[in-house]
Amino acid sequence: MLRLEARAEPSRVWSYASPLLALLVTVLLGVLMFTALGKDPLAALQMFFWEPIRNAYAVGELVVKATPLLLIALGLAVCFRSNVWNIGAEGQYILGAVCASGVALLANAHSSGWIVLPILLAGVAGGMAWAALTALLRDRFNASEILVSLMLVYVATLLLGFMVYGPWKDPAGYNFPQTKNFDAVTSIPRLFEGSRVSIGVLLALAGAAALWVFLFRTRAGLAQQIGGMAPAAARYAGFSSRRALWLALLVSGGAAGLAGALEVAGPIGQLTPYVPAGYGFAAIIVAFVGRLHPVGMVFSAVLMSMFYIGGELAQSRLGLPKSLTGVFQGLLLFSLLACDTLMVYRIRWRK
């Protein structure tokens, strides 16, 4: 019989091996799922793991999908390391997109190209303001940040719908709920001709580097993590747990808002009800698969974007349901949670 035996201390090897094993388990479960659906599992897996990287254009699209996921995950990592459970990054992403669109709609053909900067700053401000509501309710009334941030996602979605169905609706848009296309001057600069990859990926990578320095090389990063995980110890050391709460949520909201601004002023080019793509929720998986480490989250963001692109290709080419992307994301998360057991337990054979 097999039994679980508690380790004396968490295994460092399994802390790195667990995500790899979880990915392998996810692939095996995917094979069983495709077989049960009557589809060729090799062809289906090719859609997820080969098609997104088969040429330069496909890699560019992979980077476009990975950029918002990485940005949001970086902000969430600050929260989770501070023991602040921000589950509403999707709402902060939406508010960032709405605020950035408000600035973009003010532009015209005579505007300077520098208007891109106010657009991005508006997105950051919108995300931070939405996260500040959660911080205020948690700070003043001890409300659960999980429930507050999650409920604010639906409020943000309703606000987005009000704007695109109401005052910002394009009068020449054939009654579709969307704003007019933003002027070309508001477009986020692209890195390569013929590709949709923008400077957003540089901002995301710079954010990953800055987060690494902040968390592991500064006193403020140490105070941030201790302030969230052990408030009593933080007070003894002179650190403020209240400051940790506000900083974590504002950084997380700002990163999500920046991701929303990059999306509407980049690949989308307008504000529509379809801006919420689930990035805020998928980034939670990205953060944990990446072990809340900036380098690990870069790779997990790429993996999650492969799931997004693979799900779209499987839907169009194999006739599989659109929800397949969410299924793969859920399988990866639950496989990771199961495999993480090996960090604190070892499997023993008992006769």
Q: Binning pLDDT at 50, 70 and 90, where does residue 113 land?
A: confident
Contact 123, 96 (CB under 8 A): yes
| pTM: predicted TM-score of the whole model, two decimal places | 0.94
Q: Give the residue-averaged pLDDT of 108-112.
A: 81
Distance of alpha carbon 121 from its chain centroid, rounded? 19
Contact 129, 95 (CB under 8 A): yes
Q: Is the confidence at residue 228, as pLDDT, over 80?
A: no
Q: How is the chain split into domains, by residue range?
A: 68-299
Q: Give the residue-averaged pLDDT of 12-36.
A: 93
Look at 351 and 286; give whichever has higher pLDDT.
Answer: 286
Of the candidates 52, 75, 70, 93, the one whose C-alpha atom is nearest the C-alpha of residue 297 is 70
Q: Give the residue-averaged pLDDT of 111-125.
A: 94
Q: Is the confidence at residue 242, as pLDDT, over 80?
A: yes
- The tokens of 127 are what? 């995300």
pLDDT at 325: 87
Contact 183, 107 (CB under 8 A): yes
CA distance 201 to 197: 7
Contact 130, 255 (CB under 8 A): no
- The tokens of 120 are what? 């991005």
Contact 296, 290 (CB under 8 A): yes
